[in-house]
């Protein structure tokens, strides 16, 4: 990084802030060059680490033990059903026939979506489509003994997991905008995500969904619990005209804690 700023004749003293992802080598380079007080992790990237870890796309231990035991196995079972629907022409035709029987046209019939391991958002979209078409899937699966259908309790878990992921998916889409600034939205977004997740009602008997919710809440708190104390984000929120009516609720900090 030193070579880069020398090449472009950038004075380190004139750099007010540097925003990076959370890759250890990038963080080390930024902080070593400009100092910890000028480094802020990219909010959207940090937020995306939470569902990745919860879904099993990313682990936080060297033994590769799932962060929420049972979730990767359930994902695998769901993906198997979807893979069968894509490979079997008979299943696909029957799936379309039932939809048309219920009023859909040839061009509006839907297919099940398969997720991509490197993109947790595709898992959320997969679950959305799965829940929307659940009754049709169950009906069609009765004619195909080779399909290991997801049970009612597993479907309930999938529904709760989808509801927990929904506000995070919305936030990542909103924060990924290219035509307007988003730094001022970080604090409000973090608050609304936590609020929406707290509102997701999960039956006490659903241990898997409960564990998923607990993990996500703890990770959000660990990563964003001190967000209001991060001066760049607080300052951006305070001066954003959209939030002028609520600035009295936000206090600008006197110190700069770390945000990881």
Q: Is the pLDDT of residue 255 over 70?
A: no
| Residue 195: CB atoms within 10 Å | 10
55-72 pLDDT, tens digit each: 987 655 555 556 898 998
Q: Output the pLDDT for position 149.
A: 84
Confidence of residue 192 (pLDDT cuts 50, 70, 90): very high
Q: 165 vs 124, 133, 192, 194, CA distance in Å?
A: 7, 19, 13, 11
Straight-line distance from the first to the last Cα atom of the chain, in angstroms, rounded to the nearest whole number: 21
The set of long-range contacts for 177-181, using a CB threshold of 8 Å and a minimum separation of 24, is 181/236
CA–CA separation, 125 and 139 (whole Å): 22
Which stretch of DSSP H or E encloses residue 71? helix 71-87
**CA 137-141-146 angle, 5° bins:** 135
Q: What is the mean pLDDT of the segment spanning 226-251?
A: 76
- Give, to the nearest 10 degrees, the angle between helix 120-132 and helix 71-87: 70
Helix (H, G, I), strand (E, B) or coil at 19: strand
28-45 pLDDT, tens digit each: 998 998 888 888 888 988
CA–CA separation, 85 and 191 (whole Å): 39
65-97 pLDDT, tens digit each: 568 989 988 999 999 999 999 999 999 999 999
Q: Closest by alpha carbon to 1, among 41, 24, 31, 42?
A: 31
CA–CA separation, 221 and 217 (whole Å): 6
In DSSP notation, 23-51 reads: -HHHHHHHHHHH-GGGEEE-HHHHHHHHH
Confidence of residue 113 (pLDDT cuts 50, 70, 90): very high
> What is the model's pTM?
0.83
């Amino acid at each position: 990084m030193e070579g880069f700023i020398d090449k472009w004749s950038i004075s380190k003293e004139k750099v007010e802030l540097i925003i990076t992802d959370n890759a250890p080598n990038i963080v080390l380079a930024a902080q070593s060059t400009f100092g910890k007080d000028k480094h802020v992790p990219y909010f959207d990237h940090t937020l995306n680490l939470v569902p990745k870890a919860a879904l099993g796309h990313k682990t936080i231990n060297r033994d590769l033990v799932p962060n929420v035991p049972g979730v990767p196995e359930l994902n695998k079972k769901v993906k198997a059903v979807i893979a069968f629907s894509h490979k079997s022409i008979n299943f696909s035709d029957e799936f379309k026939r039932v939809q048309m029987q219920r009023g859909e046209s040839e061009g509006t019939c839907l297919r099940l979506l398969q997720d991509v391991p490197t993109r947790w958002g595709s898992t959320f979209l997969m679950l959305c489509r799965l829940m929307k078409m659940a009754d049709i899937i169950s009906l069609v699966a009765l004619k195909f003994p080779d399909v290991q259908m997801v049970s009612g309790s597993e479907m309930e878990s999938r529904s709760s997991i989808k509801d927990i992921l929904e506000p995070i998916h919305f936030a990542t889409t909103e924060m990924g905008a290219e035509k307007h600034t988003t730094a001022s939205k970080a604090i409000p977004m973090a608050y609304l995500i936590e609020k929406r997740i707290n509102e997701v009602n999960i039956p006490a008997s659903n241990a898997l969904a409960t564990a998923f919710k607990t993990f996500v809440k703890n990770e959000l708190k660990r990563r964003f619990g001190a967000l209001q104390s991060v001066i760049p984000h607080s300052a951006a929120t305070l001066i954003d005209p959209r939030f002028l009516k609520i600035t009295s609720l936000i206090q600008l900090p006197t110190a700069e804690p770390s945000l990881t």
